[in-house]
Every structure is written in C-alpha cells, then in structure tokens.
Chain A
C-alpha cells in the first residue's frame, strides 16, 4: 500500500521561485474534491493527500475557475477583509508552495 500523508493547513515554505501573474494551471494529474468547504487533493504520483485550509481552498477554487493571481488576491482581500497588498503577498506565497509541491504548474 502506498502511503497517504495529509498536509494539515498550509505552512508557508521558503521559495525563490517566481509566481506568474498569468492564470494558474492546476496540475491536471491531480484528483480533488471540495468537502465541507475545504479542498482535498490527491496527488497520484506520490499518493499524498493534501487537505487545504479555508483560505488555501478559496485560492484553489478560484484558480480552477481560471482567475489570475491578481484577481484571486483581490477576491481574497474582499472575502477575508485583509489589505490588498497582504492578500497578494499571501496568495503568491501560497502559490509558490503549491508549485514546489507540484500541485500547480508553471
């Protein structure tokens, strides 16, 4: 049996990879579902299960709808009532982490 590992919440990881301002592409190999408002993602390549927290789920769902980083940051700012610069910074940081984990593609 292959191991399933949950990422509880989303700890920010250091990364120097730039996140594109273009639209985000979710890794098409992934299987995911929204369950009780949270996104659960299975990566078939390594059989890891990722359970996203509330804000990460929000970002994920809008990325799936084809929104760009800036659009997602604006929506995040309105939804969670945070400063636009903070929302953009958090969105980019999250996307860098998703890139590192292979959940989104360049």
Chain B
C-alpha cells in the first residue's frame, strides 16, 4: 500500500469516517438520518435491529447530535388505541399496540414487534420533529425530472404508485410518502425509506420542488391550476399529522400555507400511461 493511501486511512480513523451504509451501528445503536433529521436508534433485539439496518440502509449516517430513540425499554400503557396526548414537556402517541413518548432529550418507542411498527413510529416521530424544522410528510410520490422534484399527492388508490411505475425507475424518489422541507431558501423533496407498492427503496438525497400535482385518474391527460384555497383543501387530508397540540397545529397550517403559496399547484387528470408527463413537463 502506498503512502498516500495509508495517510488516507489514518485520516479516516481520526475523523471517525465510516463507509456509508456499513459502519454506522455500534452494538445496539443504529444511526440514521432521514430528511436531515438524525436519529440514534437503540434497538436491543438483534433481529429487529438487523431488519431496521436493511430497511434504512440508504439512510444510515453517522451525524453528530442525533436524537436518542430507545425501543422496547418498557411496555406501552394502553393497547389497541391510536391517538396523541401531551403532558408538560412530554408528548405521547400510540399506534396499534405500540407507543411513542417524546421529550426534548430523547424518545421511547415501546411495544415495537416488527420493522413495520418501527417504521410507523418513526413516521410519527418525523411528523413532529419536521414541523419544528419547516418540514412535513405528505402522502405523495416524488419523481425527479431534469433535477427538479414533481410531487404527486393523493390518498391510497389515487395513482401514486401508478405514477411511480410509469416514470423512469431511477427518477422515483419515493412512491408513497414524500418528505418536504424548506432548506437553502427553497422547498426541497427528500428521499424517504417509506415506500409503497413500487418498492422504491429511496435515496438519501434532496431535490428542489418544481410543483405539486393532486392526482385524479381520468380518460385524458390535463392539468388544472389550483387556487391557494383549493390547494390547501386538496393537500391537508394528505398530510401525515398526528399531534393534538395547538402549537403544532398552528405550525402545520403555517407551513402548509407557506408551501402552497410558494409553489405552483395543479390538479392532474391522467390516464394510466406515461403520456401525462407531456402535460407536466412538455
């Protein structure tokens, strides 16, 4: 090995560099960063940790200051309930048999039996943390075309996976849940590990948003410009939002208004083929 490569290895040891996707778990700790939100997942169960490592392979990143997330340190208090509550400095959310408790310093996930439960709690957690960072999660597919992100929003069955499947494979950033965040003076779409039918594994990148398209399947391809109020009406039902807290709801409404006010929004009527791109980006 020549001197320069040896020096390079020394440098990597000094700064704690590790190859992305391999060296960012220590014992029961798994460091991930989704939408530039760093989390230190502490997962004592080896099987669950390994599944999480595979699921979030593209998002393993050793970012300092990650919020500690401890899983299964105790049993959740309530079963079969979904909801949210706040008590002083702590917020609590329940999803099926699992529970999330969030304070300023750490997060606890209890009752996590499989990677899908973990995934759901991470989504709830992100929906809270992102609101504080000018971001939110939206039921939407994101497709990148010429360096810009096109957001296709809609509930299940409206065609998100169809849009993803009709787009070039490498252009799909996510087919189910889009992460949108204001960074560098513009709204960006981030890759997420939360995939749907298309099974896009997501890439840990972010791309400036070109526009938002609310999906309607039709017998022709056309777009209709939406007013701010129409856009808000179309978007809010698709926002992943679990909080019952006034402050959080205020923040969400502000973010949604800001987001829609700064981007072109359309209703996209489309057939189930790739010709819809001609009316979006001719």
Contacts and interface: CB of A to CB of B under 8 A. Distances in A.
A6 B230 CA distance: 12
Interface in B18-72: none
B280 interface: no
Contact of B240 (A1, A29, A38): A1
Interface string A4-42: 101000000000000000000000111111011010101
Interface in A50-71: 51
Interface residues of B, number: 23
Contacts of A6: 233
A49 to B, nearest CB: 5
Contacts of B227: 36
Interface stretch (B199-207, B208-216, B249-257): B249-257
Contacts of B242: 1-2
B249 A38 contact: no
Given A35-B229, A51-B233, A45 B257 contact: no
B147 interface: no
B79 interface: no
Contacts of A28: 246
B257 A33 contact: yes
A1 B241 contact: yes
Interface in B223-282: 227-229, 232-233, 236-237, 239-246, 248-250, 252-254, 257
A31 B250 contact: yes
A47 B249 CA distance: 9
B241 A29 contact: no
B139 interface: yes
A51 B236 CA distance: 12
A38 B242 CA distance: 25
Contacts of B249: 30-31, 42, 44
A32 B253 contact: yes
Contacts of A49: 233, 236-237
Interface of A: 1-4, 6, 28-33, 35-36, 38, 40, 42, 44-45, 47, 49, 51
